[in-house]
Amino acid sequence: MDLLTITLLAIVVLLGVALAVVLMRQGGSREAEQMRQQLSLAMSQQAETVQRVERSLREQEQALSKAVGERLDRTEKATGQIVTDLRERLVRIDEAQKKIGDLSTQVVSLQEVLSNKQARGAFGEVQLNDLVQSALPPQAYAFQHTLSSGARADCVLHLPNPPGSIAIDAKFPLESYSALRAVPAGDGPALLVAQRAFQQAIRKHIGDIRDKYIVPGETAESALMFLPSEAVYAELHANFTGLVEESYRARVWIVSPTTMMATLNTVRAVLKDVRMREQAGEIQKTVGLLLEDVKRLDDRVDRLKTHFAQTEKDLRDIDTSADRITKRGQRILDVDLGEEPELPKPQTESLPFAENAKGTK
């Protein structure tokens, strides 16, 4: 029983005690009996009321317990789903952090590679090799080709004269470009110093390519400086047009991966045209031999026609001879030798009616 039920029972008991005290004070037996009956009726009514209240409270308690239980179940399910989602998100966050860590390691490794001249050259050579191998046939290029001057070019494109073989350099001064990009925004003096350093590095690299890879009589009158970074190429043409013009005057053409592919496509077209011109003489020679074969075939056809004509004449002569032989044989058969051939005598049979006729005569 809950607290409210106990309170109601206590009130009923107190009322009964109060009525009993009142009846005892009045002292009348008849009236006391009536009061006891009224008290019993009141107590029974109060007991029923208490039971109804208790039953109602119990039903409300059960309904409340059920509602609270259902709400707790829903809350538990929702909390479990939230915890599951949170755990999955934490796992994804851990994976993303691992990937970011790996990417940071790769970026650091790339920076270390690009900060080393030899490694940077290898990095540029890998891109250059992929582009050249995908665009040209194997006989049209050579990697790490040593020229007569002793300089070793990263790649040489074999072209006919003119223009001749073209050397390509895949190394580039990334340190100065990295220093240029690292200048804080708004720091004018530092930016000016970095730009000058970048210009000097590029200018020196252009001069080295010109002196090493342009060999009169062996290579073309120009060479290519391959930049494996589109950003460096864009920076040069956007903010350092003077360097680009100097490279033109030095006949060192600066190319990026995109422009390098266009250059290789042009080289491939030139090589195809050269092969076609080289094969033109062979084609003409073959056509001449073919014409000679046609002439010999014509002569043989003429001789065959002559043989056919002679054969036809011989067949006509044979036909004429056969006709003559046939006619002469027919004349021989038609010659009269003066003797008539003896004809056979006719034989007659005597018939029975003929004999009967003779007897009658």
Average pLDDT value for residue range 142-147: 88
Q: Is the pLDDT of residue 258 over 80?
A: yes
Is the entire prediction scored with pTM above 0.85? Answer: no
Q: Over the stretch 87-120, which tens digit does the pLDDT of each residue have?
A: 888 888 888 888 887 776 665 555 555 555 555 5
Q: Is the pLDDT of residue 357 over 50?
A: no
Lowest mean pLDDT among 177-181, 218-222, 340-344: 340-344
Average pLDDT value for residue range 168-197: 83
Q: What is the mean pLDDT of the chain?
A: 78
Q: Is the pLDDT of residue 12 over 70?
A: no
> Closest Cα partner for 235 from 278, 286, 271, 199?
199
SS3 breakdown of the chain: % helix, strand, coil, rounded to 5?
Answer: 75, 5, 15
| Whether the Cβ atoms of residue 124 and residue 226 lie closer than 8 Å to each other | yes
SS3 track for 282-316:
HHHHHHHHHHHHHHHHHHHHHHHHHHHHHHHHHHH
Question: Cβ–Cβ contacts within 10 Å for residue 241, how many?
Answer: 10
Q: What is the pLDDT of residue 358?
A: 43
> Closest Cα partner for 254 from 278, 229, 218, 221?
229
Question: Cβ–Cβ contacts within 10 Å for residue 81, how many?
Answer: 10
Q: What is the pLDDT of residue 175?
A: 78
**In sequence order, what are the residues at sequence separation of 6 or more whose Cβ sits closer than 8 angstroms to the Cβ of residue 354?**
none
- In this structure, what token pair is assigned to residue 211? 């002196």
Cα–chain center distance at 140 = 28
Q: Is the pLDDT of residue 340 over 60?
A: no
Q: How confident is the model at residue 267 (pLDDT cuts 50, 70, 90)?
A: confident
Residue of 168 and 332 predicted with greater confidence: 168
Measured distance CA(242)–CA(71) in Å, rounded: 77
Q: What is the pLDDT of residue 348?
A: 47
Q: How confident is the model at residue 359 (pLDDT cuts 50, 70, 90)?
A: very low
Average pLDDT value for residue range 283-303: 86
> Closest Cα partner for 213 from 163, 151, 124, 128?
151
Cα–Cα distance list, 173 to 63, 179, 181, 204, 259 (Å): 81, 11, 13, 10, 19
Q: Over the stretch 27-43, which tens digit does the pLDDT of each residue have?
A: 555 666 676 677 677 77
